[in-house]
Amino acid sequence: MQDTPLTNLLLAPWDTSYGLPPFDAIRPTHFEPAFEAAMRAHRAELDAIAANPEPPGFDNTIAAFDASGRLFARIDMLFANLAASATSPELQAVERAMAAPLAAHANAIYMHAALFARIDAVHAARREFTLDAQQLRLVERVHLDFVRAGACLPSDKRLRYGKVMEQLAELTTQFAQNVLADENGYSLVLRTEEELAGLPAFVRAAARQAARERGIDGDAHVITLSRSSILPFLTFSERRDLREQAWRAWTTRGEHDGAHDNRPIAREILALRNDQARAHGYSNYADYALGDSMALTQDAVMGLLEKVWAPAKARAQSELDELCTLAHARGDNPAIEAWDWRYYAEKLRQQRYQLDEAQLKPYFPLERMVQALFDCALRLFGVDFVEQPQIGAYHPDVKVYEVRAAAGDGAGKLVGIFLHDNFARAGKRSGAWMSSLRWQSSRGPQGDVLPIILNNNNFAKGSPGEPTLLSFDDARALFHEFGHGLHGLLSNVGYDRLSGVQVLRDFVELPSQLFEHWLFEPQVLKRHARHVQTGEPIPDALIDKIRAAERFNQGYETVRYTASALLDMAAHAQDSPEGIDITAFEQAELARLGVPPAVGVNHRLAHFQHLFSTSGYAAGYYVYMWAEVLEADAFDAFRQAGDPFDPVLAKRLRDCIYSAGNAVEPGATFRAFRGRAATVEPMLRERGLLD
C-alpha cells in the first residue's frame, strides 16, 4: 500500500509546537516511502514552473523555485539530523538505500532543461527587471547553483555526470558509517588503579559513566574514541603503553582491512570528484571547488597557508625541544612520540603557568557555560533563550529553547527555536556541528518562517547526579558551535536559499570562530565561570594564567591544522588521482612538508570526515584559517573600542555578519562591518606567530 498523509507522519502536517517533527512517533520505515512521495511532489512543482506559459520573470521563476520543495526539504533535513545525532542500524540501512536516489533527485532538479532555460533567461535579463539587491543576489546564486551542478553540460555528458554524483553520494555515506563503526566498536577498558594512574577525578568519572552506558559491570572505566574521552586520557594517563594503544586506535579509524576500510572508498571518491571537475572544464577538483569561494584560486589558499607554515614549524620544533628537556629532567624517555606530546605538554603547562586542567574544570560546568552563551547573546544581540522542558526532542539529552527578542518594539517576539544536544553517545557521530530543521525566510508564500537550529557537541557526560565539567577547549567548542547557531537563528533575509549559514564556505566559519572570543573576556569568566561546589567566581589570578597560557602549544596546534589543510589541497589538486594509495600518498606528502612525526595532523585521510563524508569541506579545510583572518580582525574592532559589548559595534555585527545570510557578497558585508578589508596580522599575533 502506498503511503499517504494519513498513514505516514512525515507526509502529514505537523500539528506540533513550533512545527517541530513528532519525534516520538517517527519510525525509520517512514522515510523511504516519504522521500519517494516528496520527490514526486517536488518534481511536479518544478514541472509546473517550467511549463508556465507566462514569460520568465523573478516571481514566477526564481522566487517560485526558491519556494518549491518545502515538503521534501522538511523530510531531508530531519533525516540528516537523525542520521548524524541518533542513528540506528535501521536508519543506516535507509541512509544507504536512499543515497543514490537522493542524488538522482538533485540531478533531476539541476538538469531540468526547461526549468533552467527560464532561470537562464531571467539571469540574462536581470538588469532589466526592477529587482532589489536581495532579489538580484538570489537570481545570481540560483543560476550559479544550476551551472555548477551541470545544467550547462551537453546532453551526452549529463547522464554520466548524474551517475558520478550518485556514486559519490553512496560512497560518502559509506565513509561516514565506517568511521562511526570504528568509533563505536572501540573501548579501552581500565579495571585497576595501575591502569587508571594519573587520571584526575573528572576523567575517571566520565570513563565510569561510559562503562555504565556500555553495560560493563563492576568498577570498570572505559575510554572511548569520542574526542572528549580520548584527549583527556592522552593528556593525563601515566601509562605510556596505554596511551600508545589509545592513540593508535584514534589515528587508524577507517584504516583497517575488512568491511569498514575507508582507503578504497577515499580513493574512489577522489577519482570521481576529478571526473566531476573535468566535466566542468577544470583540470582538478580543487580548482572546481574554489571557483565558488572567497579565495577563488589555489594560489590564494596556498599564499595564506604558507604565511603560517614556516613559523609554525619552527615554533613546534622549539616546543618539541622543551618537551624533550622536560622528559629528560623527569628521568623519562626523552624521545617524544605522538602519544606523548599532550602528556608532556600538560606537565610543562602546569610547570610554566601553574595551570592544569584539573584545576580549571570545576569552574566550567556545562550548565553555567550554556548560561554564558545565552548571556553573551542577550548582551550583544538582544535575544533571550527560554527553555521549554515540556517539549521533547529526538533524545532525552536534547533541550529545546524558544529564542525571543528581549528589547525594543519587538520585545517578546519569537525569533526562532534552538535545540541543544551536548553529550557523546553511541549512535551519534563524533565532532561538533550545527544543523537545521528549517531555515528562516520572510518573502515566500508561507510568510515569516522561523528557523529551527540545532547545535551538537560530544562532551563526556557526568555521572548520574553529578555535573558535566568542561575543559577550556570544550568550552571554546561550545562557544564555536553556538556562533554557528546564532548565524542560523539571527538570519533576517527574504529567501530560503540565502538564509543563515548557506554562505560561501570560507565565510561560514567567521561567525563561529568570532564568537569564541567572548569566552576569553574576563567579565564573562567572572560572571559565569563559578566553582561547581562553592559557587565562587574564578579568581583573577586563574584568569591571568589562562590568558598567559593562551599561546602555549600553538606551534603544535597550528602545524596539525595547517598540515591537514595542505594535505587536503594536495589530495584534491591531483590531475589524475585514479589508483592512488591514500596512505602512501599521505605519508609522502607529510614527509615532503616536513611534518614532525611527534606532531602529526588533525585528521588522517582514512577518517577525514570533513573531506569524505560530505563535499562541504573538500578542498576547503583551509577555511578555518581563512575565517580566522576575518574574525581576528573583526574582534580587533571591539578591542579598539575598549568594550567587548560595545552596543554600536554589536548592532553592526548583527546586521552585517550574523543576520545577513548570503544576501550580500561576503567580502562586501565584512567591509560594511569593519570599514575595510581584513588584514592577516591580528591572526598571526593571536597564534603567537608574529612578534
Cell of 41: 511532489
Q: Which residues does residue 434 pair with via DSSP β-bridges, in sequence order? A: 455
What is the distance between the alpha carbons of residues 322 and 324, in angstroms, rounded to a whole number? 5
Is the separation of the CB atoms in 552 and 571 below 8 Å? no
Helix axes 298-329, 554-572, angle to 10 degrees: 140
Q: What distances in angstroms separate CA 629 from CA 199, 507, 509, 624, 632, one per listed residue?
A: 37, 11, 11, 9, 6
What is the distance between the alpha carbons of residues 17 and 625, in angstroms, rounded to a whole number? 39
Could you report how far apart the first and last alpha carbons of the chain are, in Å? Answer: 71
What is the distance between the alpha carbons of residues 214 and 212, in angstroms, rounded to a whole number? 5
What is the distance between the alpha carbons of residues 354 and 356, in angstroms, rounded to a whole number? 7
Helix axes 554-572, 623-641, angle to 10 degrees: 140
Helix axes 89-110, 155-184, angle to 10 degrees: 160
- Any catalytic annotation for residue 95? no
What is the distance between the alpha carbons of residues 482 and 455, in angstroms, rounded to a whole number? 7
DSSP string, 21-74: --GGG--GGGHHHHHHHHHHHHHHHHHHHHT-SSPP-IIIIIIHHHHTTHHHHH
Q: Which residues of 491-523 are buried (b: 16+ CB within 10 A; e: fewer)?
A: bbbbbbbbbbbbbbbbbbbbbbbbbbbbbbbee
DSSP string, 523-576: HHHHHH-B-TTT-PBPPHHHHHHHHHTTTTTHHHHHHHHHHHHHHHHHHHT-S-
What backbone torsions phi and psi does residue 384 show, to the nearest 5 degrees?
-105, 145
3-class DSSP state for residue 451? coil
Count CB atoms within 10 A of the CB of residue 579: 8
The active-site residue out of 95, 166, 170, 481 is 481
What is the distance between the alpha carbons of residues 137 and 147, in angstroms, rounded to a whole number? 15
Cell of 278: 573535468
Is the separation of the CB atoms in 41 and 11 below 8 Å? no
3-class DSSP state for residue 414? strand
What is the distance between the alpha carbons of residues 136 and 574, in angstroms, rounded to a whole number? 36
The runs of H, that is alpha helices, within 214-262 are: 227-236, 240-251
Q: What distances in angstroms separate CA 204 from CA 185, 192, 460, one per listed residue?
A: 20, 12, 11
What is the distance between the alpha carbons of residues 492 and 443, in angstroms, rounded to a whole number? 11
Is the separation of the CB atoms in 153 and 113 below 8 Å? no
Q: Which of 509, 504, 571, 580 is nearest to 277 (CA)?
A: 571
Largest CA distance in the chain: 84
The beta-carbon contacts of 585-590 under 8 Å, at least 24 apart in sequence, are 590/563
Is the separation of the CB atoms in 224 and 186 below 8 Å? yes
Helix (H) or strand (E) run with residue 408 in it: none
What is the distance between the alpha carbons of residues 586 and 604, in angstroms, rounded to a whole number? 8
Q: Which residues are catalytic?
A: 481
